[in-house]
Amino acid sequence: MSRLGGLGTAAAALLAVVAVTTLAAPLLAPYDPDFPDLLSALAGSSSSHPLGADALGRDVLSRLMYGARTTLLGPALVICVSSVVGTALAITAAWAGGRVDAVISRVLDVLFAVPGIVFALITVAVLGPGIPGVVAGLAVAYTPYVARVVRSAALRERSLPYVAAAWVQGRSAFAICVRHLLPNLRPIIVAQSVSALGFAVIDVAAISFLGLGVQPPAADWGLMVKSGFDSAMRGQPLEAISAGVLIALVVASVSVLGDRLGRTV
């Protein structure tokens, strides 16, 4: 804990609370998130609806709890795929060097130049709106985030004498990469992946806000900002504000955590 510092510990605690709430949503949520109680539509904060109700009278707090699942699952998938692919590309590039490195690095540069949302729009156009299309597009877009940093760390690691010693001993390139390089690069891979997770949360929420990600009536924070936006126009800003604040808090916590993990590398 001490290596995370005060802010880092607070961030980790907040994420832990969100994770537990998400998993235990059926136990903790006061209402069925999809049950429309039209009589409480656009209700403000009260003892029965602490964060009010949306335009269809669904309890905002319950929807936030359930919505964390879809909101966080997408970005988590994006980061898993892009970290694995990015690390594999980075270590291959650093090990092989020369032309292989040049080709991989230029491809990553090109991917880096295109905003993630644009990629997601392309894959959503092919696969249709919903989580799979969004994840596929963003996974491609996020690969260079991890790959670039890991490649430069792998180049440094590869130049150390213990790698030359293993090579001279006759170990295979694959064994050196998997048994020596990968474990030594792990802290950097983790730190970079966690940092990228924060951006992925924003991107996925933004795509849902645009109506191309998670589809209604599913509960999702990005969607709630959008529907809350309409409610706010009708005088009830609580839904948009609570979903927006939650996204901001989670992203900030993830960023702080990534930064702290990176510093202790």
Q: Does the footprint of another protein cover residue 264 (CB under 8 A)?
A: no
Q: Which is nearer to another protein, 6 or 183 (CB)?
A: 183
Q: Which is nearer to another protein, 23 or 265 (CB)?
A: 265
Shortest Å distance, C-beta 184 to another protein: 6
Q: Does the footprint of another protein cover residue 160 (CB under 8 A)?
A: yes
Q: According to CB under 8 A, which residues from 108 to 137 bind another protein?
A: none
Q: Does the footprint of another protein cover residue 167 (CB under 8 A)?
A: yes
Q: How far apart are CA 206 and CA 213, in angstroms?
A: 8
Q: Does the footprint of another protein cover residue 171 (CB under 8 A)?
A: yes
Q: Does the footprint of another protein cover residue 265 (CB under 8 A)?
A: no
Which x/- pattern over 181-200 shows residues binding another protein (rule: CB under 8 A)? --xx----------------
Q: Does the footprint of another protein cover residue 170 (CB under 8 A)?
A: yes
Q: Which residues of 37-64 are buried (b: 16+ CB within 10 A; e: fewer)?
A: beebbbbeeeeebebbbbbbbbbbbbbb
DSSP per residue, 205-227: HHHHHTTSSSPTTS--HHHHHHH
Q: Which is nearer to another protein, 129 or 187 (CB)?
A: 187
Q: Does the footprint of another protein cover residue 162 (CB under 8 A)?
A: yes
Q: Which is nearer to another protein, 152 or 172 (CB)?
A: 172
Q: According to DSSP H, which parts of the chain are helical?
A: 5-23, 25-28, 60-96, 98-113, 116-127, 131-158, 161-168, 173-175, 182-209, 221-233, 238-263
Q: How many CB atoms lie within 10 A of CB 18?
A: 19
Q: How many CB atoms lie within 10 A of CB 219?
A: 26
Q: How far apart are CA 239 and CA 65, in angstroms?
A: 13
Q: Which is nearer to another protein, 102 or 165 (CB)?
A: 165
Are the C-beta atoms of 265 and 187 separated by less than 8 Å? yes
Q: Does the footprint of another protein cover residue 101 (CB under 8 A)?
A: no
Binding residues for another protein (CB under 8 A): 160-162, 164-172, 180, 183-184
